[in-house]
Structure 1
Amino acid sequence: MNKAATTGVLLTLSLSLLAGCGSGGDQAGTGGSAGGDKGKASDKVKLSLWHNFTGDDLRAKTMRGIMEQYKKDHPNVELDIQGIPPDGYRARLKTVAAANEMPDLFVMWPGVMTKEFAGGDLLQPINPLLDSKADWKNGFLPSSFDDFTLNGNIYAAPMGLSPTSILYYNKAMFDKHNVKPPKTWDDMMSLVETFKKQKITPIALGNKAAWLAQSSILSSLADRVTGTEWFLNAAEQKGAKFTDPEFVQALTYLQQLGKAGAFQDGFNSIDNTQMEQMFAQGKAAMMIDGGWALTNLAANASKEVLDGMDVTVLPSVPNGKGDPNSLAGVVGTGLGMSKKTSGASKEAAYELIYAMSGPAAQKATLESNQLVSYKVDLDTSKVSSLFAKVHNMVGTVKRTPVYDGRLSSAAADVVNNGLQELLMGAKPEDIAKKIQDAQAKSVGAK
């Protein structure tokens, strides 16, 4: 890629950051090893790593444990670790990307982030590492590398699997009020009315960081309405637009939930962790969240509480074009490597990537109540009953795209902010136009 093109991509990343919610406002520190550390194996090697495994959930503790073990096993590696809370992580990563100051290794999302970073000449592929460990490479589930791949180059190995739109419900509460999980949209609206009458919040929502309504609700709900092919065409701006009636209808369904009082007051002022706590404490009958909630719930809820929870998919909608037996989702994050990392630093980076996403790490991740896209037998005695239910469900449903995994960063930010406005009363048609304009601009469509 020539210098002008690189500059253009970096500018796009910078502008998309400014267009977002502004989370994680601190400027990031120094980047990675520019030239690597060449020399003897006993020489000190510098390596920087950014991650977002900062919570108290089992998965975060597992990943931090792997990092600490790596440090013990590699005393010659001076590992500079920066743990950044999830809500601010993407914004800080985009900041250093715009300045071309990437750390050596960093947690990176599949799809559009990989595409933009690789297009900006910020990444280097890990094909040599994968090819050197064929058994590991072949242990991943089909299509696991697709969204980390560009022009035959693979830029990360997934460290998990993330269905984003699981409908969690309090089975004990449902039984008490003699209701069942919703199969149709009418069922859902009836449940909202039933629980409202009992002064119970129907659906907990924590949309402070703005991405949750998009990733966990709209991505799956809109697919029910439009079908997957329509969304992929709209993302490419080829024969479909976000101002089309079917997408406006999807926004209308989401707003209908808001207007019916499905969510608690102040849903835009709490985050997803607080939402999960609210649900676990029995203060809401349902929540719509990703697989990441499982490790948080396993760490913070009692066995009795977990045994009283169950899961299903979002309900079907009238005349929907999508498959209702589906979950929006992506393969999990992986470790990207800076284009600048070389020499001994690169070799150390390869070893850390393998430590954090190799077979042993995949098994430990699964047993920390986090789904993986790797072939590992599940020992149900090591996980919560709720996790086992989700693990079984994921194996029986279709996976559909998540909006921010396919749209440009700039357009995804417009969706996130637009859904906050939508749930506060903005017109669906107006939000649809904002999204259409942003995605059309990003792909250069007229």
Structure 2
Amino acid sequence: MRYISSGIWKIFILVAICYLIAGCTSAASPVPSAQADAEPKKIKLTVWHDWAAQDSASDTMRELLSQFQKDNPQIELRVQSVIPDAYRSRLKTMAAADELPDVFLIGPDSMTREFVRGGLIQPIDDFLKANSKWAEGFEPRSFDSFTVEDKKYSVPMTISPTSLVFYNQAIFDQYSVPIPQTWEELIQAISTFNKHGVIPIALGNKSAWVAPSSIFSTLADRITGTGWFMDVMSQSGAKFTDRPFMDALAKMQQLARARAFQDNFSFIDSKQMEQMYFRKQAAMFIEGGWAVGSLIAEAPKDVLESTHITLLPAIHGGKGEPMATSGVVGKGFALNAKLEGERRDAALKLIYTMASPEAQRKILNGHMLVSYRIDVDRTAAHPLFIELHDLMKKVKLLPAYETQLTTAAVETLNEGIQELFKGGSPGTIAQKLQDTQANVLGKFR
């Protein structure tokens, strides 16, 4: 009995000890481990962009953002996508409320200058200096549009002509119309297409920027020359009421009066404009280099194969260069002026990722021109994109009105072109534009 009792007692003690050990282990489990303490805290960045469209260009840029997030799990991107037509006004609203995102797309030239003067963004020269080999790989003057008082505020990801004439060669051949080389030939082509029930030039100006951006910047330069524009932009010895500029407005109005565009051009957008061309309702449309991606992705095979690219024709007596077209360095990411420390470092890493040599190659392969020194892969690229790429090697880029003028002047010009198409006076529109630009620059007189 004693032997058995003693054995049972020992077993009881062993069981009790096991329970105590299990209990201690259970009680200790909520305490963070050393490994948990070592886990890095996520760096959070708010990021805004306008790649909201469902096209190859926007798809490529969104993919680069997603890849950055996958490669950098310690950085949490809180991304806001805004449609392009509302993007600038949304940013201005956020700036007024002192609630700008940490990193956001900013336009070149006037938009960058305005944000710098408002103390809203910060320079990134230290970052570019630390990555000089990469920074030196961009085409000459690529950073000019993001430079204010010798300080750089962003890195270009793309470059784009904003005024190209896309035409269907088969429609031109059908009616024996030559590709216009002069203004007079363009007016004659418009007349011929109208006689045969073909829309000469599809236009979607619902958002008001398409006609000024894709047609007027280049048309005006054909007459005034670039030197005059740079003077009037700074209000140094030139005015919008000068005769050459009013002649340019008159030429723009002539297109509307000659019925170059379909009747509903003020009620459809640029995507609907492209669709009209895809359906062979129009012989031409005028848009920026970004349209090539839409053509390749969406145009019917026969339309795509018949599509070629040219420039607005020369204008007799004008001071501008015929082998030139308005263009811009694409938008780049800017840093909120308040961003600092590890969050600034993370934002700079994002900027590099979006404009690195590898990213530039992906962008180029997505049928967008880049300002980095890499060539197109002719074995893989679509023939229409190769045509654009080769054309731009021969063409000079002109200052674009929408990126050079003050924001207020751009809005006045957009409204003025709409008035012009309705029969408004070129003189009245020129005076409004002159007053706006001079007033904003403090030179009202």
State TM-score, norm by structure 1.
0.89
Counterpart amino acid of residue 429 in structure 2: I
- How many Å separate the matches in 2 of 1:40 and 1:175? 71
Q: Which residue of 1 aligns with 2:135?
A: 137
The alpha carbon displacement at 1:100 in A equals 2.5
CA distance in 2, matches of 1:280, 1:133: 44
* Map of 1:311 onto structure 2: 309
In structure 2, the residue corresponding to 1:319 is in which secondary structure? coil
Distance 2:282 2:209 in 1: 20
The equivalent position to 1:335 in structure 2, one of 327, 333, 336, is 333
Between the aligned partners of 2:52 and 2:191, the Cα distance in structure 1 is: 38
Contact 1:44–1:78, Cα closer than 8 Å, also in 2: yes
Match of 2:272 in 1: 274
1:57, CA displacement in angstroms?
1.1
Structure 2 counterpart of 1:151 = 149
- 1:216 matched to 2:214? The reply is yes
Question: Which of 406, 418, 421 is the equivalent residue of 2:416?
Answer: 418
* Alignment correspondent of 1:226: 224
Alpha-carbon offset, residue 305 of structure 1 = 2.5
Determine the C-alpha separation between the residues in 2 that align with 1:334 and 1:41.
Answer: 33
How many residues of Structure 1 are paired with residues of Structure 2 in the alignment?
408
Q: How does 1:358-397 map to 2 (within 5 A)?
A: 358-397=356-395
Please give the secondary structure, in 2, of the residue aligned with 1:50. strand
% identical equivalent positions: 46
CA distance in 2, matches of 1:40, 1:103: 29
- Counterpart amino acid of residue 376 in structure 1: I
TM-score (norm 2): 0.89
**Match 1:283 to one of 278, 281, 284:** 281
Q: Cα distance 1:55–1:319, how it changes in 2: closer, same or farther (>3 A)?
A: same
Counterparts of 1:351-362 in structure 2, within 5 Å, are 351-362=349-360
**Counterparts of 1:41 and 1:120, CA distance in 2:** 39
Q: Does 1:77 align with 2:78?
A: no
Structure 1: distance between partners of 2:405 and 2:154: 20
Equivalent residue, structure 2, for 1:13: none
In the alignment, is the contact (CA less than 8 A) between 1:125 and 1:155 conserved in 2? yes
- The letter of the residue matching 1:320 is G
CA contact (8 A) 1:230 1:240 kept: yes
Task: Give the Å deviation of 1:44.
Answer: 1.2
| 1:276-296 deviation digits (Å, cap 9, x = unpaired) | 222122111111110111122
- How do 1:92-241 and structure 2 match up within 5 A? 92-241=90-239
| Per-residue CA distance 1:53-98 (angstroms, 9 max, x = gap) | 1112111111111111111111122210001111111111121122
* RMSD over equivalenced CA pairs, Å: 1.4
Matched residues in 2 for 1:329 and 1:110: separation? 11
Task: Please tell me whether the aligned partners of residues 56 and 299 of structure 1 are also in contact (alpha carbons under 8 angstroms).
Answer: no
Distance 1:61 1:246 in 2: 42
CA displacement at 1:434 relative to structure 2: 0.8
Quote the offset at 1:400 in angstroms: 0.8
In 2, are the aligned partners of 1:57 and 1:298 still within 8 Å (CA)? no
Q: Please, which runs of 5 or more residues in structure 1 have no aligned partner? A: 1-38
SS at the partner of 2:363?
helix
Aligned counterparts of 1:175 and 1:120: Cα–Cα separation in 2: 54
Q: Deviations over 1:396-417 (max 9, x none)?
A: 0111110111110001100011
* Alignment partner, residue 438 of structure 1: 436
Asked whether the equivalents of residues 219 and 328 of structure 1 are also in contact (C-alpha less than 8 Å), the reply is yes
What 5-or-longer segments of structure 2 have no aligned partner?
A: 1-36
CA–CA distance in structure 1, aligned partners of residues 61 and 85 of structure 2: 18
4+ runs of 1 displaced by more than 3 Å? Answer: none
Deviation at 1:41, TM superposition (A): 8.6
**Which of 234, 243, 262 is the equivalent residue of 1:264?**
262
1:361-387 per-residue CA deviation (whole Å, 9 max, x = no partner) reads: 111111111111111121123332211
Q: Does 1:52 align with 2:50?
A: yes
Deviations 1:149-201, CA, capped at 9 Å, x for gaps: 01121111111011001111111111111112111110010010010001111
Distance (Å, rounded) in 2 between the aligned partners of 1:410 and 1:287: 28
Tell me the secondary structure at the aligned position of residue 266 of structure 2: helix
Asked if the contact 2:278/2:300 (under 8 Å) is kept, the reply is: no
Once the two structures are overlaid, the 10-residue window that deviates more, 275-284 or 330-339, is: 275-284
Asked whether the 8 Å contact 1:108–1:333 carries over to 2, the reply is: yes
For 1:281 and 1:159, the matched residues in 2 are separated by 32
**What SS does the corresponding residue of 1:247 show, helix, strand or coil?**
helix
Quote the Cα distance in structure 2 between the aligned partners of 1:295 and 1:341.
35
* 1:34 corresponds to: none
Alpha carbons 1:158, 1:332 under 8 Å: kept: yes
For residues 53 and 298 of structure 1, what CA distance do their matches in structure 2 show? 18
Aligned-partner residue type, residue 230 of structure 1: W
Looking at structure 2, the residues matched to 49 and 70 of structure 1 have their Cα atoms a distance apart, in angstroms, of: 12
Cα distance in 2 for residues equivalent to 1:271 and 1:130: 39
